[in-house]
Amino acid sequence: MTYLAPKRHAGVYRYDEIDRQFLNERVAEYRGQVARRLSGALTEDEFKPLRLMNGLYLQLHAYMLRIAIPYGALATHQLRGLARIGRRWDKGYGHFTTRQNLQFHWIRLEDTPEIMAELAAIDMHAIQTSGNCIRNVTTDQFAGAAPDEVVDPRVYAEILRQWSTIHPEFTYLPRKFKIAITGSANDRAAIRVHDVGLLAKRNEAGEIGFAVYVGGGLGRTPYLGVKVSDWVGEQDLIAYLEAILRVYNQFGRRDNLYKARIKILVHQGGKQKFIDNVEAEFARIRGPKYRLDPAIVEAIERNFAPPPFEELPPYSEAFDRAKREDAAFAVWARNSVRDHRAPGYASVTISLKPIGGVTGDITSDQMDTVADLADRYSFGEVRVTHEQNLVLAHVRQDDLFDLWKALDAAGLGTPNAGLITDLITCPGLDYCSLANARSIPIGQEIQKRFADQQRQQDIGDLKIKMSGCINACGHHHLGAIGILGVDKKGEEFYQITLGGNAELDGAIGDIVGAALPPDEAVDAVESIVDLYLERRQPGERFLDTLARIGMGPFKEKLYGAA
Amino acid sequence: MELKAITANRLRDGAVVWLGPQGDWVERVELAAAFDDAAAKVALAEAEKSAAANVVVGVYAFEVEVVDGVPKPLRQRERIRAQGPSIRTDVGKQADALDRAA
Amino acid sequence: MALLKEGQPAEDTWTHVTDDAPVPANGAITVSAARWAKERQELAGRSAPLGVRLGSADRPESVAADLGRFALVTVDFPKFRDGRGFTTARTLREHYGHTGEIRAIGHVLPDQYQMLRRCGFDSVVVPEGADLAVWAAAHTQYTVAYQAAVGDEGGPLSLLRRRFAKAG
C-alpha cells in the first residue's frame, strides 16, 4: 500500500506511521469480521453492530457505505480517491450528508474489505460513522478562514476524533453519540442539536476553553442542548467529556430504543441530577491522567496552520471588474463568496443543489474537477458542509472569476448557495429502508417552482429542510420551513413545520397542520413564501416575519380559518 | 384475496431478491411467487432458513396484487425496491431491465 | 464455556454459587451482589477466597466499601451491545483501585476483547462454542490505541497514541 501525502498546506490531519498502523489493523480486523459473517461464524445479529461501526448499512437497494470525512475536511488526493472508489466499487456518484460524511449507495458486502484497504491508503476509513458509539465530530465549514472565528475548532475536533476512536469504555453505548464544535459565536455547526455541542472561546486572559451543551438532538423527540458548563478549560476537555460519556453509559436507557439517547437522560431524567453526576465524575477523574497536554494541542495545531497567504490588498480590482462585466458571475459571487480573515481572499461555497438535480449528490468526475480546482485555487483542500455543499475555503479574490468559469463548465456553478433552492433533502424512500416517503422528488419540485433567480434573491435567507422519516437526517426540525415525510395509509404525505433554525439560539420548528399529499405540500410551500413576501417589513427575513406575525396567518392560509 | 410475496437482500452483495415459485431467490419481482396468507407463513419459514444459512438477510413478506399473472407490489416502498430510485431511472433494476430490452 | 486469560485458556478455580444454593464452607466462591448484601456477615466470616458477581445494572458503588474482601469480581454482559460493564470495570480499577481479578461473563464477542482488557478486565468467560483461535487473534489485533486506558503507566496522558506493550 503506497500512502500519498496531502499537499503541503492542506488543512487536514497528517497521518504518521502509527496512525497508519492503526488503520491497517482496523482493516485487518474488518476483513476477518466479514469472513466470519460470510461463513456464518458470526450471526447477523452479532455482525450488524460490527459492520455499522465500519459504516456499512443494509439499505433499500443494496448496502450503503458511509465514509468518514472528519469534521468535513478533505485533502484533494483524498477526494480523488473517493472518486476512484465510486467508479470502481459503486455507480460513479456519491452523496454528502448532514454530518459531513460521504455515502455510496450501491455497495456489496464482499467488496468492502478491499474498499476499506483502498480508503486506508488515502488515510481514510468508515470507522464509527454508524453504530451506538461516538460518531464523526462535525464543525464549521469555514474553520480557519472565517473572520468571526475566535478559536480554530478543527484542532479540537481532531483531538476528539482521536480520543473517541475505539474508545475502550464508550464503544457500546445505549445509542449513537454525536458531537459538534464551533469556534465562533455564529454557530455554523448546529451545536445545539447534538448530544454534546462545544463552543470554543477565550477568556480574558486569552486562554482557550469551552461552553458545553449536552442533550440536543432531533428525531422523534427533538431537544435543544442544555448548557451544563459555561467554561471547561482546554486542559480539562477530555476529562469533562469522559465524565459525560461515563454518566451516559451507565444511566442511559437500554430498555427502549426510542428513549436511549442522552437527550432523554438530560431532559426527562432531571437536568440538575445529570449535571451533578457529571460534575462529580469530572471532579473524580480530573488529574494528570486525563489532562489534555498543551504539547499535544500544539502538535495537532500544526496540522491546521494557516496556509502561506500572499500579502494582498483587501480589495481586488479584478474581482470587482469581473462582477461588473459578467452579470452571471456577479449573481454567483453574491451568493457563493464569503469574506475571509486574510485580506484579498475569500471562501467559496460550491452548491450541490442544481435545480431539479439530486441534492447533495456528486459524480466521480465532478469530484475530480473539484479536486483539481482546489489544488489550483485553494491550497489543496476541500470542505464538506452539513448542508450538503462543498467549500473551497481559501481562494484569492483575483481568482474567483476563473474558478467560477471552471465550476460552471462542470455543472457546479449553480448560483443558489444560501437561497431557497439550496435546500436539504435526505435520500428518503428512493434509497433508505427507514424512510416513510420520498424526499428528493419533492425537493426537486420545490426547486423548480422557485427556480427564478430574481425571485430567489428577493426571498433571501429561507432554509428548507426535508426528511423522509422521523429520524430527521434531513434536519427538518431546523428548517425555516421543515418538511417531514410520513406514511398515511400506505401513501406518502408531508407534514410542514415552520420556524426552525440551527443557530446558537436555535429553535425547533412548529407543526402547521395536518400532513398533505405531495402536490399540495409543494403548493403549500409556495403559499407560505407568498404570504411572507406579502407581510414582511423592510429588512425582515422569513424567520423574522414569522416571529412577528406568528403561525396563525400561515395556518389560515394553508388550512382555512381555524 | 390478499396475496403476499417474500423478499430479502442477498447477504454477499446486498441485492434485492424475492422468493420464486421453485423456492429459489429471483432478482425480479415479476418472477416472484405470490402466496395466500397460509402459504405465505410456510414460505416465510422456509425463507428464514435461507437467512440462517447465510444466503440472505432481512427476510419479510409484503402485499402484492397479481395482474396478468405478474405480481405487482401494492406499496410505494416495495415498488421502489423492485425498480430502483424514482429520481435516477438510469440506476437500479429498472436500468438493468432497459439494458436487457436493448 | 472456557475461561480466557491473556488470550489463552485458563482453569477456573472458582465455584460460582447460585442464590438458592448453600454456601460451601471451604473453597473459592463467588456470590451475587444481592446475596452479598443480604448475607454479608456470614460470608465475611469465611476464610476462603471470596468473589462477587455484578449484573449489568449493578453499580460498582454498591460493593465499593467491601472491595478489599473480593479477590474476584465478575461483571455480566447480558448482551454484547450492553456496554455498561466496561464502565463498571474501569471504575473499579481507576476510581476504587481494585487490584483483584475482574472477569467478564455473558455474551461477549472476541471483537471486544481488547476493549475489555483496556477497561481492566483480566479474564473473560467465552460463550459456548466460541472459536478460541479467533479470541486468541483478537487479543493482539491492535497494537495502537488513542486514549488512556487502565494499566497505562506513568506521566501525563499521551492522547495521540499509545503503543501496547508486545503481548508476553
Looking at residue A331, what DSSP letter applies?
A: H
**Is chain B touching chain C, with at least 3 CB–CB pairs below 8 Å?**
no
What pLDDT is recorded for position B100? 65
Q: Which residue range forms the structural domain that includes residue B89?
A: 3-101
> Rounded to whole angstroms, how far apart are CA atoms A268 and A230?
22
Place of cell 415498488: B79
For residue B55, the chain A residue with the least C-alpha distance is A38
A345 touches A395 (CB < 8 A): yes
A532 touches A544 (CB < 8 A): no
E strand or H helix at A187: none
Q: Do C145 and A166 touch (CB under 8 A)?
A: yes
> Rounded to whole angstroms, how far apart are CA atoms A363 and A347?
23
Phi, psi of A414 (to 5 degrees): -60, 125
Interface of A with B (CB under 8 A): 37-40, 44, 58-63, 91, 106-110, 358, 429-431, 435, 437-438, 440-441, 444, 490-492
Nearest-Cα distance to chain C for A22, in Å, is 6
Question: Where are the extended beta strands (E) located within chain B?
Answer: 3-10, 16-19, 25-26, 56-67, 70-73
Nearest to A159 among C87, C152, C159 (CB): C159
Question: Where are the extended beta strands (E) located within A80-172?
Answer: 93-96, 102-107, 138-139
Spatial CA neighbour of A59 closest among A126, A108, A118: A108
> SS3 letters for chain C?
CEEEECCEEECCCCEECCCCCCCCCCCCEEEEHHHHHHCHHHHHCCCCCEEEEECCCCCCHHHHCCHHHEEEEEEEECCCCCCHHHHHHHHHHHHCCCCCEEEEEECCCHHHHHHHHHCCCCEEEECCCCCHHHHHHHCCCCCEECCCCCCCCCCCCCCCCEECCCCC
Q: Do A33 and C111 touch (CB under 8 A)?
A: yes
Question: Which of helix, strand or coil describes residue A236?
Answer: helix
Mean pLDDT of chain B: 94
Interface of B with A (CB under 8 A): 9, 11-16, 51, 53-54, 57-58, 74-77, 80-81, 84-88, 91-92
Per CB-CB distance under 8 Å, the chain A contacts of B27 are none
C92 touches C67 (CB < 8 A): yes
What pLDDT is recorded for position B30? 96
Question: Where are the extended beta strands (E) located within A82-129?
Answer: 93-96, 102-107
> Rounded to whole angstroms, how far apart are CA atoms A528 and C36?
66
What pLDDT is recorded for position C150? 85
Q: Which residue has the higher pLDDT, C1 or A245?
A: A245
3-state helix, strand, coil in chain A (%, to 5): 40, 20, 40
CA B76 to chain centre: 14
| pTM recorded for the entire structure | 0.96
Hey, what's the cell of A317? 480590482
Hey, what's the cell of A373? 480546482
Q: Do C146 and A18 touch (CB under 8 A)?
A: no
What pLDDT is recorded for position C39? 93
Nearest to C90 among A36, A169, A171 (CB): A169
* Alpha helices (H) in A206-326, listed in sequence order: 237-251, 262-268, 271-285, 294-301, 317-325
Per CB-CB distance under 8 Å, the chain C contacts of A157 are none
| Total domains, chain B | 1
What pLDDT is recorded for position A448? 98
CA C80 to chain centre: 14
**Chains sharing 3 or more CB pairs under 8 A with chain A:** B, C
Nearest to B81 among A61, A437, A492 (CB): A61
| Domains in chain A: ranges and CATH | 17-121 (3.90.480.20), 145-302 (3.30.413.10), 317-409 (3.90.480.20), 424-559 (3.30.413.10)
Spatial CA neighbour of A234 closest among A204, A201, A197: A201
Per CB-CB distance under 8 Å, the chain A contacts of C141 are 25, 28-29
Round to the nearest angstrom and report the end-to-end CA distance of chain C. 24
Taking CA atoms, A107 is separated from A56, A77, A118, A130, B12, in Å, by 9, 22, 14, 16, 10
Mean pLDDT of chain C: 90
Spatial CA neighbour of A98 closest among A433, A385, A354, A362: A385
**Chains sharing 3 or more CB pairs under 8 A with chain C:** A
Nearest-Cα distance to chain A for C147, in Å, is 5
Q: What is the CATH number of the domain that holds C46?
A: 3.20.20.70
Looking at residue A193, what DSSP letter applies?
A: G
A216 touches A191 (CB < 8 A): yes
> Rounded to whole angstroms, how far apart are CA atoms C36 and C30?
9
Per CB-CB distance under 8 Å, the chain A contacts of C131 are 41
pLDDT tens-digit series, residues C40-85: 999 998 899 999 999 999 999 999 999 999 999 999 999 999 999 9
> Rounded to whole angstroms, how far apart are CA atoms A426 and A436?
12
Interface of C with A (CB under 8 A): 59, 80-84, 86-87, 90-91, 94-95, 109, 111-112, 114-119, 131, 134, 137, 141-149, 152, 155-161, 163
What pLDDT is recorded for position A150? 98
Q: Which residue range forms the structural domain that includes residue C47?
A: 2-141
> Rounded to whole angstroms, how far apart are CA atoms A132 and A49?
8
Spatial CA neighbour of B19 closest among B37, B35, B3: B35
Substitution target in C116, C152, C159 with the highest count of A β-carbons within 10 Å is: C159
Average pLDDT over residues C137-157: 76
Question: Which of helix, strand or coil describes residue B64?
Answer: strand
Phi, psi of A265 (to 5 degrees): -60, -40
Per CB-CB distance under 8 Å, the chain A contacts of B12 are 38, 108-110
Looking at residue B17, what DSSP letter applies?
A: E
Handedness of CA A530, A532, A534, A538 (dihedral sign): negative
Nearest-Cα distance to chain C for A105, in Å, is 26
A149 touches A341 (CB < 8 A): yes
Contacts of A471 (CB under 8 A, 6+ apart): A219, A434
Hey, what's the cell of A460? 433571501
Which of B5-9, B69-73, C88-92, C140-144 shows the lowest mean pLDDT across its residues?
C140-144
Q: Do C83 and A165 touch (CB under 8 A)?
A: no
Nearest-Cα distance to chain B for A533, in Å, is 31
Place of cell 466521480: A364
Nearest to B85 among A107, A431, A492 (CB): A431
Q: Do A50 and C159 touch (CB under 8 A)?
A: no
Amino acid at C156: P
What pLDDT is recorded for position C166? 46
> Rounded to whole angstroms, how far apart are CA atoms C34 and C19?
8
Per CB-CB distance under 8 Å, the chain A contacts of C134 are 32, 36, 41
- C68 domain residue, yes or no: yes
Q: Do C146 and A162 touch (CB under 8 A)?
A: yes
What are the mean pLDDT values of chain A's consecutive 10-residue runs (562 residues total)?
76 92 96 97 96 97 98 98 98 97 98 98 98 98 98 97 95 98 97 98 98 97 97 97 98 96 96 97 90 91 96 97 98 98 98 97 98 97 97 98 97 98 97 97 98 98 98 97 95 97 95 97 98 97 98 96 58
Question: Which of helix, strand or coil describes residue A465?
Answer: strand
